[in-house]
Amino acid sequence: MSIKRIGVLTSGGDAPGMNAAVRAVVRTALFHDVEVYGILRGYNGLINGDIIRLDEKSVSRTINRGGTILYTARSKEFMTEEGQRKAVSTCKFLGLDSVIAIGGDGTFRGARALSSHGINVVCIPATIDNDISCTNYSIGFDTAANTAIECIDKLRDTMQSHERCSVVEVMGRNAGYLAMYVGLAVGATAVLVPEKTIDFDKDVIEKIRQARFNGFTHYMIVVAEGAGSASEIAAKIKEAIDLDPRVTVLGHIQRGGSPTGRDRVNATKMGYLAVELLLANKTNRIVCTSKGSFTDVDIDDALQMHRSIQSMEVDVLAAMTGL
Ligand code: F6P
C-alpha cells in the first residue's frame, strides 16, 4: 500500500501546539512527496467536504500560534452511522487514503470508526486535560499549565496584600491532572481533584488553619472543575471558618496563547512520527510518549487503558501542605 494523499484534522477542544503538529504533518508529508489536505472543523469537514490543499506556505508562521488554523468541532453528526458513511464517501471521492486526527479520546473514537471503514488513520494526542491514558504527554498541557500558573501567581499578589483566601477553578473536565500540576507549581494550600475523595474539614479547613498557625495570612485553594465549583467550595469555607474567599474561574483563557517550547517541539515530533507511521503502512495507531520515549499504540488498546493521578503527586502535595 503506498500513501498518496493524507488529510489532517483537529477535533475536540483546541490545544496550544495543534498548529505545530499540523505544520509537522504537512512538512513531513511534502518531504516524502505525499499530498496533504486540511480537513476543516474536525469530522464535520469530512462530512461536508470542507477540505483545502495545504503546501509549505500554508503552515508558515503557525508554529508559534495558539488555537488551530484548521478550526475544530465536536461533531455530533459523525457519531451517527449516516455521518460516518458520508465522511468515508468524501475520503473515497477525494482520494484521501489516510487521515491524521489530532485531539483527545473523542477524536480517537472517530478515527477508529474511519479505520473500520478501511481508511488509514493515525492519531496525535492533544488536550490541555492531559487525560489520555496511553500517553504521559498530550500537546497543549504544558502551555495551559504555564498559563494557569502565571494567572495564579498574579492572583497571589493581591491575595497576599489583602490577606485573603482565593479559590481558583482550573479546567480539566473529569480529570485533575492540570489542577494537581498547577497546584504543586503555585504552592497551593489545598488542591481538590476528582480522582481523590476528600474529607472537607481535614483536607481544606484544617490545611487553612495549619497554614495560619505557620504564619500565613493568605490561602490559595486550587479546584479542578471536575471536583466541584469554586463558588460552592468558597461558600463552604466561609461557613466553616468565617473567611470571605474570592473566586476565580480561569476558564478558556487556559486554552489560548502561544505554545511553550516543549509543546512546539513535542508536537513537531509527533506530527513527523504520525506521517512516518503511515508511510510504514501502520494504521489505527496513536502516537504517544511512554517512559520518556515516543512510541505508538493501537487505538482499540489505547481506548481500554486506564490511568490516574500518580500517588507520588498526592504524597508530595500532602508533604508540601503540611498535613
Ligand atoms: O477538554 C478540554 C476542555 O477545555 C476541558 O478542560 C473543558 O471541560 C472543556 O474542554 C470545555 O469545553 P468547551 O470549549 O466546549 O466549553
Whole-number pLDDT of residue 323: 54
Q: Which helix (H) or strand (E) holds 265?
A: helix 261-279
Catalytic residue among 97, 105, 129, 296: 129
**Separation of 194 CA from ligand 1 center, angstroms?**
16
Q: Which amino acid is at 81?
A: E
Say what percent of the chain tops pLDDT 70.
99
The yes-or-no verdict on residue 122 having pLDDT over 70 is yes
Whole-number pLDDT of residue 1: 67
Summarize pLDDT for 28-44 with one digit per residue, the tens. Answer: 999 999 999 999 999 99
Summarize pLDDT for 277-298 with one digit per residue, the tens. Answer: 999 999 999 999 999 999 999 9
203 noted as active-site residue: no
Whole-number pLDDT of residue 311: 86
Summarize pLDDT for 247-277 with one digit per residue, the tens. Answer: 999 999 999 999 999 999 999 999 999 999 9
**Separation of 127 CA from ligand 1 center, angstroms?**
9
**Separation of 14 CA from ligand 1 center, angstroms?**
9
Residue holding cell 500560534? 65
Instruction: Establish whether residue 127 lines the binding site of ligand 1, counting it when its CB lies within 6 angstroms of any ligand atom.
Output: yes
* Residue whose CA is at the smallest distance from ligand 1 atom 4: 13
Whole-number pLDDT of residue 186: 98
Contact 117, 88 (CB under 8 A): yes
The yes-or-no verdict on residue 90 having pLDDT over 70 is yes
pLDDT-derived band at 170 (thresholds 50, 70, 90) equals: very high
**Separation of 90 CA from ligand 1 center, angstroms?**
28
Instruction: Establish whether residue 25 lines the binding site of ligand 1, counting it when its CB lies within 6 angstroms of any ligand atom.
Output: no
Instruction: Establish whether residue 255 lines the binding site of ligand 1, counting it when its CB lies within 6 angstroms of any ligand atom.
Output: yes
Say what percent of the chain tops pLDDT 90.
96
Which residues are within 8 A (CB) of 41 and not within 5 positions of it... i.e. 6 or more apart? 48, 50, 70, 71, 72, 73, 75
pLDDT-derived band at 5 (thresholds 50, 70, 90) equals: very high
